[in-house]
Amino acid sequence: MKSKVSTQPMSASSFTKKANLAVYESLNFEDRQDFEDAIRGFIAPLESTIIKDDSGEVVWDIDKLDFLNDTAPDTVNPSLWRNAQLQAISGLFEVVEGVYQIRGQSIATTFFFEGKQGVIVCDALGSTESAEAAMELYYKHRPRKPVSAIIISQSHADHFGGIQAVLKYAENPDIPIIVPQYFTEEALSENALLGTIMARRAEYQFGKNIPDGTIGSVSIGIGNTMSSGTMSFALPTVEIENEIQTMEIDGVTFQFLLTPNTEAPAEMHFYIQDYKALFVSENANQLMHQIYTVRGAKTRDALHWANSLDKTIDLFEDEEIDALLMIHAWPVWGKDQALNHLKMQRDLYKYMHDQTVRLANHGYTMDEIAETIKLPKALDTYWGNRGYYGTLKHNSKGIYNFYLGYYSAHPSDLDPLPQVEAGLKYVEYMGGAATILQKAKADFDNGEYRWVAQVLKNVVMADPENSDAKNLLAMAFEQLGYQAESANWRNIFLVGASELRNGINKDNSPLDVSGVIKNMPVDEFLKLIAVKLNGPKADGKKITLNITLSNSNQEYRIYLENSVLIYKAGELDADPDVSLTLDQFTFYGIGLGLLSPEQAVAAGKLIISGDQTKLNEFLSLLDEFDRLPNIVTP
Residue 608 has pLDDT above 90, yes or no: yes
Residue 577 has pLDDT above 50, yes or no: yes
Residue 425 has pLDDT above 50, yes or no: yes
**Amino acid 583: pLDDT:** 94
User: CA nearest 329: which of 282, 379, 261?
Assistant: 282
Which segment of 53-67, 368-382, 474-488, 501-515 scores lowest on mean pLDDT? 501-515
Question: What distance in Å separates the CA atoms of residue 366 and residue 387, rounded to the nearest whole number?
Answer: 19
Per residue in 18-45, pLDDT (tens digit) is 999 999 999 999 999 999 999 999 999 9
Please give the average per-residue pLDDT across 230-248, as a whole number.
95
Higher-pLDDT residue of 337, 190:
337
Question: What distance in Å separates the CA atoms of residue 155 and residue 280, rounded to the nearest whole number?
Answer: 14
**Amino acid 5: pLDDT:** 75
**Amino acid 124: pLDDT:** 97
* Cα distances (angstroms) measured from residue 239 to each of 153, 156, 244, 266, 300: 11, 16, 12, 11, 22
**Amino acid 514: pLDDT:** 56
Q: How confident is the model at residue 515 (pLDDT cuts 50, 70, 90)?
A: low
Please give the average per-residue pLDDT across 148-158, as a whole number.
96
Question: What distance in Å separates the CA atoms of residue 133 and residue 14, rounded to the nearest whole number?
Answer: 44
The answer to whether the beta carbons of residues 123 and 249 sit under 8 Å apart is: no
**Amino acid 187: pLDDT:** 85
Helices vs strands, H then E, count in the chain: 24, 21
**Amino acid 1: pLDDT:** 41
Buried residues in 536-548 as b, exposed as e (16+ CB within 10 A): eebeeeebbbbbb
**Amino acid 510: pLDDT:** 46
Per residue in 561-573, pLDDT (tens digit) is 999 999 999 999 9
Please give the average per-residue pLDDT across 233-241, as a whole number.
95
β-pairing verdict for 578-582 and 606-610: antiparallel
How does the average pLDDT of the chain come out, rounded?
94
The answer to whether the beta carbons of residues 135 and 129 sit under 8 Å apart is: no
Question: What distance in Å separates the CA atoms of residue 103 and residue 114, rounded to the nearest whole number?
Answer: 18
**Amino acid 556: pLDDT:** 97
The answer to whether the beta carbons of residues 491 and 460 sit under 8 Å apart is: no
**Amino acid 506: pLDDT:** 77
> Over pLDDT 70: what percentage of the chain?
97
The answer to whether the beta carbons of residues 162 and 106 sit under 8 Å apart is: yes
Beta-carbon neighbour count of residue 286 at 10 Å? 26
Higher-pLDDT residue of 521, 15:
15
β-pairing verdict for 99-103 and 110-114: antiparallel
Q: How confident is the model at residue 8 (pLDDT cuts 50, 70, 90)?
A: confident
Per residue in 106-136, pLDDT (tens digit) is 999 999 999 999 999 999 999 999 999 999 9
User: CA nearest 109: which of 127, 129, 89, 123?
Assistant: 123
- Report helix, strand or coil for 333: strand
Which segment of 56-60, 230-234, 317-321, 519-523 scores lowest on mean pLDDT? 519-523
Question: What distance in Å separates the CA atoms of residue 285 and residue 384, rounded to the nearest whole number?
Answer: 7
Query: In 202-359, at which residue ranges do the beta strands (DSSP E only) sit?
Result: 238-240, 244-249, 252-258, 268-272, 277-279, 323-325, 332-333
Question: What distance in Å separates the CA atoms of residue 627 and residue 96, rounded to the nearest whole number?
Answer: 44
Q: How confident is the model at residue 194 (pLDDT cuts 50, 70, 90)?
A: confident
The answer to whether the beta carbons of residues 270 and 254 sit under 8 Å apart is: yes
In sequence order, the 6+-apart residues with CB closer than 8 A to the CB of 610 are: 576, 577, 578, 579
